[in-house]
Amino acid sequence: MTERRAVFPFSLLAGLLVALTGAVALFSLAVGRFPVPVERVAWILFSALIPAEGSWNVQETSVVLLIRLPRVLGSLIAGGGLAMAGAALQGVFRNPLVGPQIIGVSSGAGFGGALAILLFDGLFAVIPLAFVFGLLAMIAVWSLGSGDREESLLSLVLGGVVISAFFTALTSLGQYVADPYNKLPAIVMWLMGSFASSSWDRLVFAVPVICCSGTLLYLVRFRINVLSLGQEEAEALGIDVARNRWFVLVCTTLITAATVALAGIVGWVGLVVPHMARMLVGSDHRKLLPVSALLGATYLTLMDDVARSLTAAEIPIGILTALAGAPLFAFLLKKRRREGGAWM
């Protein structure tokens, strides 16, 4: 694996990305069908911490604090988590085409959420069932991919393809038997991804899982660097390859399952964003992981802004991330081939 030099000094780039993420979050709280001036949004947020009087009204306060703030926080944290998970998986697998969906967790969690909508009224069971089936998918992939040395990597990928196909078929079966006037539209819309149902109750469940798993990935960033060197090199440096590899996989599973439980299936973020980050800071995961998280948070929040503002009816965010991600990934692939450089 060849190391690419960072384009910008890391401290400067990190500061700019933090500022950009904050500005995008503030802008996202202001835009929508009920626009609120940015300066009023800032004062509303400030008054939520320290009571103060201002020119805003109760309606604007409710829109910002109760509707948009949990939605923006959800998109920020989900985008950052998916991007970190993708960067870690690409490093562990030494493969730029790997993303969180490759391990079958998204399909398992998607089936769990669809099953909850099919069997229960309301969305109270979506999060726990999506999370449980996401973990079950990971356990199934784990059992199929548990082998020795390098062969286990191929077995893991193939196991992810098999489990993903299995849960996708179960989801299709659930759609087939669902009530076409009530349950089916809810299942289809949820599977296409949306932060429209984000609330403080949902964030309380999903955000700690994503943040804790992302923190654990960052704490083992040096080991991910070693794993990205290859099996023999990592073992020569005294790294337990199997144990550390599965630790990364479990963390990425938790992030993916929690994200699906929060917003449905949102693809391409974990595949495309790490490549964008790698073009800025190189392949060192000590820098790549935090930059991927910031870029992913900004990217998914902007996609959510487009989803809820472009048309009168909200566009599922999974459609937008695919429409934007596929051409962008094709452009990056062509650019790297033209330059004759390595991906990783």
pLDDT score at 58: 82
Q: Any idea where the domains of the chain sit in the sequence?
A: 10-339
Asked whether residue 344 carries a pLDDT value surpassing 60, the answer given is no
| Percent of the chain residues topping a pLDDT of 70 | 91
- What CA–CA distance (Å, rounded) separates 91 from 270? 12
pLDDT score at 34: 86
Tell me the mean pLDDT in the region 140-154. 66
Q: Give alpha helix (H) positions in the chain.
A: 10-30, 38-49, 58-62, 69-93, 105-119, 126-145, 151-177, 183-191, 200-219, 221-227, 231-236, 241-263, 269-281, 285-309, 317-339
Instruction: Report residue 342's pLDDT band, with 50, 70 and 90 as the boundaries.
Output: low
What are the tokens at 57? 């009204």
**What Cα–Cα distance (Å) separates residue 70 from each residue in 1, 27, 28, 42?**
40, 14, 11, 15
Asked whether residue 2 carries a pLDDT value surpassing 50, the answer given is no
- Look up tokens 């904050």; give the residue: 22
- Are the C-beta atoms of residues 24 and 294 closer than 8 Å to each other? no
> For 301-329, how does the pLDDT look when each residue is reduced to its tens digit (9 = 90+)?
999 999 998 888 889 999 999 998 888 87
Angle, CA of 212, 217 and 223, to the nearest 5°: 150
Instruction: Report residue 127's pLDDT band, with 50, 70 and 90 as the boundaries.
Output: confident
What are the tokens at 31? 């835009």
Q: Give alpha helix (H) positions in 146-268.
A: 151-177, 183-191, 200-219, 221-227, 231-236, 241-263
Query: Identity (one letter) of the amino acid at 109?
Result: A
pLDDT score at 146: 62
Report the CATH fold assignment for 10-339: ABC transporter involved in vitamin B12 uptake, BtuC (1.10.3470)
What are the tokens at 288? 């790549």
> For 46-64, how does the pLDDT look when each residue is reduced to its tens digit (9 = 90+)?
887 777 666 667 888 889 9
Mean residue pLDDT across the chain: 87
pLDDT score at 292: 97
Q: What is the DSSP letter of 3?
A: P
> For 164-183, how does the pLDDT look when each residue is reduced to its tens digit (9 = 90+)?
999 999 999 999 999 998 89
> For 243-293, how does the pLDDT look when each residue is reduced to its tens digit (9 = 90+)?
898 899 889 988 998 998 899 999 899 989 999 999 899 899 999 999 999
- What CA–CA distance (Å, rounded) separates 115 from 124? 12
Asked whether residue 150 carries a pLDDT value surpassing 60, the answer given is no
pTM of the model: 0.89
In degrees and rounded to multiples of 5, residue 252 shows phi and psi of: -70, -30
- Are the C-beta atoms of residues 286 and 222 closer than 8 Å to each other? yes
- What CA–CA distance (Å, rounded) separates 309 from 167? 32
Asked whether residue 336 carries a pLDDT value surpassing 60, the answer given is yes
Closest listed residue to residue 12, CA positions, set 304, 322, 309, 291: 291
Lowest mean per-residue pLDDT among 57-66, 97-106, 194-203, 207-216:
97-106
Instruction: Report residue 1's pLDDT band, with 50, 70 and 90 as the boundaries.
Output: very low
Find all residues with CB under 8 Å of 29, minimum gap 6, and list them: 36, 41, 45, 64, 68, 69, 72
Helix (H/G/I), strand (E/B), else coil: 137? helix
